[in-house]
Each structure stands twice: as structure tokens, then as C-alpha cells.
Amino acid sequence: MHLCLGEIRTIIFSSQAAKEIMKTHDLAFASRPLTPFVKIICYGCKGLIVAPFTEYWRKMCRLCTSELPSTDRVLSFRSIREEEISLLIRSIAAFSGVLVNLSGKFAGLSNDIMTRAVFGGRNEDQMIYLSALGDVVGQTLSFSTVDLFPSMFKFIGLSPVIA
């Protein structure tokens, strides 16, 4: 099926056809579309998830698979995980007899562990980071006119800016 989403041409294949195409033309489809929004949010597409399939991407992937999941790296954050889980248990215990949104608590736990690992402890930057992360997720999930009509913004001399 061929769709035009704004100025963006999109082709949709069945699962079987996609599997066959990816077997023979996998490198042609390895990179993702680089929309203006993605370029702004991801620092010119330098992030691992949106970087084009190049030598840079391969080096980043190798680095992430060799450094991030290493036993030493995981063990170095053990105290953070234990402290945050202890805080979570105390928080849930404080609400005894009341319904607790565990999904929200677990999402908060995950965010707290990650931000403490990134920032090395609790500080005001953690809340700024989480707020910015929420804004980015909101922008990512929302409709973006500039992604569907990129030539319109170039034509009228505007650059896409995130509010």
C-alpha cells in the first residue's frame, strides 16, 4: 500500500513481504528517516537510536554492548538500586489500606535509578532532567506539522523550533 502522509511518501508491506525485502535489502532500510524534529532532539542524529547506519553507528553499538552491560558496571550501581527500592517499599507501606498506583511507582523507580546513576546522586538537576524528558516524550508523541510538510517551513523561511 502506498500512502502520502503530508509530503512524506510511505509504503506499507505485509509482514511476509517485509521479511523478504529485509533479507535482500536490509542495508537500504537500516537507517531511519531523519525528520527535523529528530535532528533537533537528537543533536543532529548522533544518538544511537537515530544515527544513520554508518561506521559511527557500529562503533557506538560496540561501545554500548561492551561497556554498559558489563558485570562491573552493573555492580557499581547496586547501592543505588537497593536504596531506591528501599524508598519505594517505605513509600508503599506508608499507604497501607489505600490503593496505590504501582505502575506509576515502578516508572518513578526506574527514572530515579537512571537519573541517580547519570547524575551521581539526588540533586535539583534530576527534576529538571525528568521534566525535560517528559517534554520530549510529549513532543515525540504529538503531531508535528514540520515532519509532514518540511518544504512549507523552508518556503516561508522558518526553522522548526520546539516550544
Task: Indicate the number of domains in the chain.
Answer: 1
Tell me whether residue 125 is in a domain. Answer: no
Pick from 126, 106, 123, 131: nearest CA to 115: 126
Residue 151 lies in a domain: no
| Any domain includes 145 | no
| The three cell numbers locating residue 80 | 543505588
Residue 17 lies in a domain: yes
- In-domain check, residue 10: yes
**CB within 8 Å of 42: residues ≥ 6 apart:** 49, 50
Which domain does 1 fall in, by range?
A: 1-30
The rounded distance, in Å, linking the Cα atoms of 149 and 66 is 40
Residue 87 lies in a domain: no
Cβ-contact 117, 79 below 8 angstroms: no
**What is the separation of C-alpha 33 from the centre of its chain, rounded to a whole number of angstroms?**
15
User: How far apart are alpha carbons 157 and 162 in whole angstroms?
Assistant: 16
Domain membership flag for residue 21? yes
**Residue 74 within any structural domain of the chain:** no
Q: pLDDT tens digits, the chain, 163 residues: what are they?
A: 888 877 778 888 888 888 888 788 777 777 666 666 677 777 777 777 778 788 888 888 888 888 777 788 888 889 999 999 999 999 999 988 889 889 989 988 988 888 888 777 777 777 787 788 788 777 766 666 766 777 776 666 555 544 4
Query: pTM for this one?
Result: 0.52
What pLDDT does residue 87 have?
93
